[in-house]
Structure 1
Amino acid sequence: MAQIQIKLVKSVIDRPERQKRTVKALGLGKIGSTKAVENTPQVAGMVAAVQHLLEVTEL
């Protein structure tokens, strides 16, 4: 399956708790942190829920 690289580009401060937990579950912590993950339907749904905070690149 294809991999995607996700990067946190906006802060989770002042965001709903659900979005904070989603970002943490994706393995991101601070602004600028990146992670390469498999593009599964579960991950795609999580990315879609917080897409306004992320930058997504296909690998």
Structure 2
Amino acid sequence: MANKTLKVQLFRSPIGTQPKHKLCVKGLGLSKVGQVRELEDTPSVRGMINKVNYMVRVVEG
């Protein structure tokens, strides 16, 4: 059985945000605006996405 994945895109710069939010973006493996990462769909990843939802998007496909 294949693991579910999410494609996450950074669409807004983390400059000027809270340090914990910057660490969440780094933890998701995102460093450049427009970058897309495919991540495993786990509760910890969902929590990080939720925390920085104003900077990242879950991309379809």
What TM-score does the superposition give when structure 1 sets the normalisation length? 0.92
Gaps of 5+ in 2: none
User: C-alpha offsets along residues 10-37 of structure 1, whole Å, 9 cap, x if unaligned?
Assistant: 0101000000010001000010111000
- Does residue 14 of the first structure (1) align with residue 19 of the second (2)? no
Tell me the residue number matched to 1:25. 27
Larger Rg: 2
Identity %: 34
- What TM-score results when the alignment is normalised by the length of structure 2? 0.90
Q: Which ranges in structure 1 are unaligned for 5 or more consecutive residues?
A: none
Aligned length: 59
TM superposition shift of 1:57: 2.4
CA distance in structure 2 between the aligned counterparts of 1:45 and 1:51, rounded to whole angstroms: 10
Q: 1:12 & 1:53 partners in 2: Cα distance?
A: 7
What is the alpha-carbon distance in structure 2 between the residues aligned to residue 58 and residue 32 of structure 1? 14
**Match of 2:29, SS?**
coil
- Counterpart-to-counterpart distance in 2, 1:2 and 1:52: 23
RMSD (CA atoms): 1.0
